[in-house]
Amino acid sequence: MRELMVRGLTLESEGVLAVDLVDPAGAGLPDWAPGAHVDLVVSDGSVRQYSLCGTPGGQSLTIAVRHETAGRGGSDWVHRTVRPGDRVGVRGVKNHFALEDAPEVVLIAGGVGITPLLPMAEELARSGRTWRLAYVGRGAAGMPFLGRVRALGPAAVVHETAVSGRPSTEDLLAGVTSQTLVYVCGPASLIEAVEKALDADGLGDRLRAEYFEAPDLEVAEPGSFTLKLERSGLELAVPAGRSALEVVTEAGVEVLSDCEEGICGSCDTRVLAGEVDHRDHVLTRTEKAANNCMMLCVSRALGPRLVIDL
């Protein structure tokens, strides 16, 4: 973790504040690539993940924070309290949503989900690759970075649903083939609609998604399972209703963790045996199918026992 200084704040749209962070002593900042995020330490010491939305290689790191009045308080603190010159704790850079090679890339952003996709679109435009971006929001006033999106030219299409209605999933995915990678960031409803449509066409493995909300954990909670920690020589019972991360940490085994909601990737742990019930939004479908790692904070066992590399 390092302390960075807030160099500037820009109201990018209604309720979305861009926070520009620099090293207070002018030291260099970590390299990053589109899709990367940092962890911001908020007022109560907990952390929130924010995608980087500036330009890689620049002199600052920029995040965009949507004011969630019904949230856990992190965004409210940023909007109401953080001011230029303040120091904030930042961890990272991490990237679980990196731009991969593909003959064609389709980017679909819902609202503030534009933040990781905008640097991707700018890089794709610079590199001359085949791509397009659909940016969906209720209306221009609440859609951050519209100027930068429009500067990308005709490959970037803005859909204001209050003006022209919601684009259909078929329209958003028109022409997608097994050669296309589809990156989606936004609310769960948007991601799930895209996922369903791709699945129906047998293209589910082309999806790369980043959620802004934690996955819904109200789904069926399987019973307890046994977790064997190979290196520590421990065998622990994980009861229904408790996470593997809680049980492992309680047993005195240190595991890196941040969000505890399956969205940041910090608690990624190697799996040596057993079948994982993946409940995170970090791993791709292919990575989940490989069954060789898991997010301990949310994922569980499909069978009675898992052996992990701890």
Give the residues lining the site for ligand FES (CB under 6 A).
Answer: 257-260, 262-267, 280, 282, 295, 297
Which class for 95: exposed (0-12), middle (13-18), buried (19 or more C-beta within 10 A)?
middle
* Residue 186 or 262 having the CB closest to ligand FES: 262
Query: Shortest gap between Cβ of 50 and ligand FES (angstroms)?
Result: 14
Query: Shortest gap between Cβ of 92 and ligand FES (angstroms)?
Result: 12
What is the C-alpha separation between 63 and 73, in angstroms, rounded? 17
* Residue 20 or 260 having the CB closest to ligand FES: 260
* Residue 201 or 309 having the CB closest to ligand FES: 309
Residue 226's H or E segment, with its range, is: strand 225-229
* Residue 122 or 260 having the CB closest to ligand FES: 260
* Residue 143 or 264 having the CB closest to ligand FES: 264
- What residues contact residue 45 under an 8 Å CB cut-off, 6+ apart? none
Query: Shortest gap between Cβ of 22 and ligand FES (angstroms)?
Result: 26
Pairing of strands 305-308, 268-273: antiparallel
Query: Shortest gap between Cβ of 226 and ligand FES (angstroms)?
Result: 20
- What residues contact residue 199 under an 8 Å CB cut-off, 6+ apart? none
Per-residue CA distances from 238 to 222, 254, 255 (Å): 11, 16, 16
Query: Shortest gap between Cβ of 288 and ligand FES (angstroms)?
Result: 13
